[in-house]
Amino acid sequence: MKSPSLERVHSELERNIKFVESYTEIENLGFIIKACRLKPYQYIFENYRAKVYLYRQWFDEFYNSLSLKEKDIYIIYNDYSLIKKSIISTDLYYGLSISKIAKMSKLIHLVAGKDEDLFQECYLLTFLGIDNHLRSYLYWYGEWQQVSPLIMGVKSLILLAQHIDLKYFNQIGNKENKALPCVAGETWLSYWPPSDNFQDLIKEKYPIINEILNN
């Protein structure tokens, strides 16, 4: 896929993004679409253009989709309709170390816990960059890898969007805010760079995260 710049795509789709948010009545959905670098399937692969049109499938650069069913939204991970498509990353900062990404960010969402077997340590770090894009990193089976922010899940994405002006940090973990595969544990949201208290909390409770952030 020859990918136009994401900024150009989102600029051309501004009315469509507002239409999706208005139709679903989900506040901040437009922010989530842009922050997760989503693009509509029909617009990119079928060259369908319309100033006012309800695109129902929005995909990211990790082969996942945010889709509409009636007025509800849901995530399709490893969307088979995308598998054979050539999708190129449009993120200029893709591949940078987590510590470098942290320095270019203003908010962090942290899920810390175990996988569904309650055996493997599992951490999901998501940063909101100063460019208002989300970048996520998963620690599982002893390795870090960059993953789709959609792994956070719809409810956590909405919650983050509601707190982008957070000035301190909060523990927000509950059953509705679990992120696969980290299904058991705690969830934190903090502005970034963090307060001394949040830094101390990370050092004490999550030394693996402290190490990667200060590497």
Cα-based distances in Å from 171 to 45, 196, 206: 40, 16, 14
Segment 150-172, tens digit of pLDDT: 999 998 999 999 999 888 998 87
* Tokens describing residue 212: 């990667």
Residue 65 CA to residue 82 CA, distance in Å, equals 9
Per-position pLDDT tens, the chain of length 215: 444 578 888 888 999 999 999 999 999 999 999 999 999 999 999 989 888 899 999 999 999 999 999 899 999 999 998 988 888 888 989 989 999 999 999 999 999 887 766 677 889 999 999 999 999 999 988 899 999 999 999 989 999 999 998 889 988 765 555 566 777 678 899 999 889 999 999 999 999 999 888 87
pLDDT at 60: 95
* Tokens describing residue 80: 């088979």
pLDDT at 1: 40
Instruction: Say how many C-beta atoms besides its own lie within 10 A of residue 12's C-beta.
Output: 13
Nearest to 148 by CA among 48, 61, 30: 61
Decide if 138 contacts 127 (C-beta within 8 A): no
Nearest to 106 by CA among 173, 161, 164: 164
pLDDT at 161: 94
pLDDT at 52: 87
Query: What pTM did the predictor assign?
Result: 0.90
From the number of C-beta atoms within 10 Å of its C-beta (0-12, 13-18, 19+), residue 151 rates as buried
Longest alpha-carbon distance in the chain = 52
pLDDT at 2: 42
